[in-house]
Amino acid sequence: MRFTCQRNSILNEIANSAEFTSQKSNLSITANVYLETRNDKLIIKATDQKMGFSSEIAVSTEEEGHVSVKCERFLNILRSLPEEIIHFYDKDCQMMITNDDNTISFNLRTTQDDFPELLQVDEAFFRIPKKIFGKLIDQTAFAVSQDETKAYMNGTLFSKEDNCLIMVGTDGKRLSFINQPVDFEIPDFDDVTIPRKFINIIKSFNNNEGDYDIHIDQSIMMIRSSNCEYYTVLQNTPFPNYRKVIPTNMSNHCRIKIKDMDEALKRVSLLVDSKFKRVVMQIENEKILISTEESDIGTAKETIQCEFDGNPFICALNYLYLQAPLKVMDGEYFNIWFNDPTKAFVIKPDPEREYLHVIMPMQVN
């Protein structure tokens, strides 16, 4: 195998493929990336056996062939090279990598083991604008559980109802929900849970330009975009009944500027206990006092303006659970809806949109 190409064109694709490799065991073939030259195209593949990635880029091929190399090593080499034409060729189980004038040279060992086959799907794709799918992810991904022992919450629920797409993320202490109407046809599909890692990869790849072609069945989700195709095995654990978690008929609400709350939380959180991340909010008249509890490191307080016409109340919550949805919320204002300061709060933009966020309060010491 022998080919040449611009350093940046291969660097971007190898960086993307690295997300789909398994680095837990450097001896495993799944820590490798597969390279194959065919008809002036370089085919790139990677898999960790649960997810898969394939892509192709234009190259100048002098000799067709295929190899696999350690993805992390290969990526680090590419990152170190200047932005110019790079030459690659395979000889005696080594990948030779040089620049145009041969002042730089790497010999990277290749692997002769058979590379795993990637899943193939040839039909039943439907199209979604990247901007819409990105919005679904942005409003929910941060709420997904990081606790690997809670497999049923380690992903986002993705479903279709009527002409709306629904996505939900939760970790048991907060929940994010979006019900996005669409003006294009999407075939019916069963509710699925997309693994957290795959959702984060889509989020990092997404540029909100163009469309995704998506295939969903009971076991896999596959996405095609430009010159790339990637898939994941879906989670087979039932997603929690999120509808029971979202409070209804809430009688109290407080209207606040998003910027005011976000900046106050940034400052007060400098002296928050790093383990519990708890802040106390005291709402009275048209002011909110945000404070930390007394500790060895000190205390912080800040007062911001709000619109509130109810009885004074005090509550405590994990400040990150409020700060995260504010970062992806549209508009200038948001509302905190509640019935009781010891029960779930609902966070909504003002005016209301297609999404909301639920936060469970913490005990006030």
pLDDT of residue 113: 81
**DSSP characters over 78-113:** HHHS-SSEEEEEEETTEEEEEETTSSSEEEEEEE-S
Its pTM stands at: 0.93
C-alpha separations of 58 from 3, 61, 302, 323, 358 in Å: 10, 9, 56, 43, 47
Residue (of 306, 216, 213, 195) closest to 261 by Cα position = 306
User: Which domains occur in the chain, in start order?
Assistant: 2-111 (3.10.150.10), 126-244 (3.10.150.10), 252-359 (3.10.150.10)
User: Under 8 Å CB-to-CB from 290, ≥6 apart: which residues?
Assistant: 264, 265, 268, 279, 280, 281, 301, 302, 303, 304
pLDDT bin (cut points 50, 70, 90) of residue 171 is very high
d(CA 156, CA 232): 13
Q: Is the pLDDT of residue 111 over 90?
A: no
pLDDT of residue 311: 87
Joined together, the tokens standing for residue 12 give: 């971007």
**Sequence letter at residue 323:** Q
d(CA 156, CA 198): 10
Q: pLDDT by residue (tens digit) across 295-316?
A: 888 999 999 999 998 889 999 9
Q: Helices 71-80 and 7-18 sit at what angle, rounded to 10 degrees?
A: 150
User: Under 8 Å CB-to-CB from 54, ≥6 apart: which residues?
Assistant: 43, 44, 45, 118, 228, 229, 230
pLDDT of residue 25: 64
pLDDT of residue 27: 61
Number of other CB atoms surrounding residue 18 within 10 Å: 17
Joined together, the tokens standing for residue 44 give: 């790139």
Beta bridge partners of 350: 333
